[in-house]
Amino acid sequence: MKNFKNKVAVITGAGSGMGRELAYQLADRGALIAINDWNESTLLDTADTVKKMGAKVLARHFDVSDRSAVEDFANEVVDHFGQVDIVINNAGYTLPAKSIEYTSYEDFEKLMGVNMWGVIYGSKAFLPHLKRRPEAVLMNTSSVFGLFGYPTQGPYCTAKFAVRGFTETLRLELEVEGTTHVKVCCIHPGGIKTGIVENIDFSKSTLTKEEIEETSKTFEELAPTTAAQAATQIITAIENQSPKLLIGKDAKWMDIITRLFPTKYHKFLLKGIAENKETLAKAFKKDPVEVLQD
């Protein structure tokens, strides 16, 4: 897909970060924009900017873990614009660092609802409409954490691995049935300056205010790619019909490491993890001196 003029682009999680930047950049290329976010205020901010750019926009506030809401949104987009050409299932969030053992079922299920089921609902709700177009694109956002396991991010890794498997399987199924005009891509962002840490619910965390602020600061410093740069790469992937997109040098590097050393890459990860024993110890509810020494 080279021309975005009057193409209808659906973007979930467009209240901030990559989703917001995708809405701006696709609008700038002449697309008609349909956006969603759980945060109504930030969603409307994105919509207002898109309108000021001269683009048509439909904005709806709901949680993508609600299947009925997603299906209603798909129908409304088609009723409003008459078609759907691009769907980017981007909505997602993460939890405070905590081991799987001490992560509650409630937190696990809530995250899976947004990060995994939200992608599945979005894909299945919009797929019939995408198949009616002469060319169409479905982009699902996994993560660099969909390439390897990472201690204290069990729910997030679980969801992102699931998104990867779901998306790659769907792509192959469409090829088998001969639906070659619908291109499917799995996106694996590395560290992106999106504000994802600010959206973490730390209310149940044992981290102090200072530790939370330091976590946010550290993430921003380590994130090598801006949301705008990530959005540009996603649009390029749409143009190039890429089946897989690694965003950032960190994602590309870890993809190589995990493929070359599938059973030993953890040694590389643990070296970096060991540098932050106090935060890690809280995630495992242990004394710092016990961490990585059992």
Tell me which residues are annotated as active site: 156
Residues 6 or more apart in contact with residue 126 via CB below 8 angstroms: 10, 74, 77, 84, 87, 138
Residue by residue, DSSP assigns 90-122 as -------SB-GGGS-HHHHHHHHIIIIIHHHHH
**Residue holding tokens 């970096």?**
272
SS3 187: strand
167, 140 in Cβ contact below 8 A? yes
SS3 141: strand
Give CA–CA dist 105/238, Å, rounded.
Answer: 37
SS3 80: helix
Give CA–CA dist 131/147, Å, rounded.
Answer: 29
* Neighbouring-strand partners of residue 87: 10, 138
Q: C-alpha 109: how far from its chain's center?
A: 17
